[in-house]
Structure formats: C-alpha cells, structure tokens
C-alpha cells in the first residue's frame, strides 16, 4: 500500500468516526407511551385522565444552558382545514442535565418555569380534538441561555425570547382522534 493510499484510508476512517459521532449525538425526544407518528393513548387525553405522557430526551449539546418544551397541535380545529395551532403545554428553563419528565409529572425539575397554554392556564392539557385525527408536536429546544424576565409567557412570547438562542431542536409527533 502506498503512502497516499494509506493516508486516504486513514482519512476515510476518521471521517466515518466523526459521522458516526454526529449521528449518535443528535438530540432526540421520545416517549415510552407512543412511538413517532403513532396514536397517543387515551390516558393522556381529555377522554382519559388528561395526564402528561412520559417523555425522555438525549443528545443534548454540551453548551446547552436550558431546554424548552412546547407541545402543540397545528391541525386545529379541523385537520382538513386548519386555522390555528393550539398550544397544549409550555415549559422553559428546564435544566440541560435533565433527561425527561415522568408520566403525570407533578414536580418539575428545579428551575423549570411554566408558560400559558391555549386554555390560558399553566400545565399540561391533553389532546381533545373536536374533529378528525390531529397531530401533536412535542418540541424540545436546546438553548445557549437561560430565559429571564418571562412570567408565564405564551408560546409566541417564548419563541420571541428564544430567537437567536436555539442550538438544536428535536420533535416527537403523536396523533389522536376522539372516540
């Protein structure tokens, strides 16, 4: 093997190592209650106990200072003719070393602050679509800062505060249709 061939082989191996590392390190959000694109169990909806599903995340970038979780439904009121995005849950300043939230979370991680959902309340409000099968986006954001000066912001106010601070985003989508 020539020196140039050996260099190319080593360069290729190094490139594969970095590609693999990036794939492993990508931020993810998952739930033990439902898989990506699957139906959210009724337990977590207005037809069940209306409790928050268990959520887990990984691959948080090392420079992250805080996390944001927004759960919303872009199919309101009718998925065939959506007119708005309905906000179900808004959390911010989650600690970057947190790894998720348990089912029916009552005690949020220290430092976490709640924003307002579209019922004008803090806390989780489960799926309750008036018609059709809706999609529910569980969006996790890694930020390079802690957000200050916000007291129970709406999703729009939070997104404005997040602008320019998002390091990475991960999304988990579940669906629900009332029975």
Lowest mean pLDDT among 8-12, 151-155, 173-177: 8-12
**Over the stretch 137-151, which tens digit does the pLDDT of each residue have?**
999 999 999 999 999
Give residue 101's pLDDT. 98
pLDDT at 94 over 60: yes
- The phi, psi pair for 57, rounded to 5°, reads -140, 160
Nearest alpha-carbon partner for 97 in 129, 131, 59: 59
Helical spans, DSSP H, in the chain: 3-25, 155-162
Nearest alpha-carbon partner for 87 in 54, 112, 122: 122
pTM, to two decimals: 0.86
**Dist CA 117 CA 122 (whole Å):** 6
DSSP 8-class letter at 109: P
80 Cα distance to chain centroid: 25
Give residue 22's pLDDT. 45
Confidence grade of residue 5 (pLDDT, cut at 50, 70, 90)? low
Beta strands in 77-133 (DSSP E): 84-94, 100-101, 113-114
- Answer whether 47's CB lies under 8 Å from 40's CB: no
**Over the stretch 99-113, which tens digit does the pLDDT of each residue have?**
999 999 999 999 999
**Dist CA 92 CA 113 (whole Å):** 5
**Dist CA 39 CA 28 (whole Å):** 19
Q: What is the CATH number of domain 27-176?
A: 3.90.280.10
Give residue 13's pLDDT. 52
The helix/strand count (H/E) of the chain reads as 2, 8
- Answer whether 146's CB lies under 8 Å from 112's CB: no
**Over the stretch 30-76, which tens digit does the pLDDT of each residue have?**
999 999 999 999 999 999 999 999 999 999 999 999 999 999 999 99
């Amino acid at each position: 093997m020539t020196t140039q061939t050996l260099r190319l082989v080593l360069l290729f191996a190094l490139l594969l190592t970095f590609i693999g590392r990036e794939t492993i390190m990508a931020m993810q959000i998952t739930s033990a209650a439902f898989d990506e694109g699957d139906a959210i169990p009724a337990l977590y909806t207005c037809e069940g106990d209306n409790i928050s599903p268990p959520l887990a995340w990984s691959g948080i970038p090392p420079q992250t200072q805080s996390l944001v979780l927004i759960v919303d439904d872009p199919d309101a009121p009718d998925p065939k003719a959506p007119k708005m995005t309905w906000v179900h849950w808004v959390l911010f300043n989650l600690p970057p070393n947190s790894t998720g939230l348990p089912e029916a979370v009552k005690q949020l991680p220290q430092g976490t602050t709640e924003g307002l959902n579209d019922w004008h309340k803090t806390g989780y409000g489960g799926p309750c679509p008036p018609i059709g099968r809706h999609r529910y986006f569980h969006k996790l954001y890694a930020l390079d800062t802690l957000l200050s000066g916000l007291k129970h912001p709406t999703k729009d106010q939070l997104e404005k505060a997040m602008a320019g601070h998002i390091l990475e985003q991960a999304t988990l989508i579940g669906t629900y249709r009332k029975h």
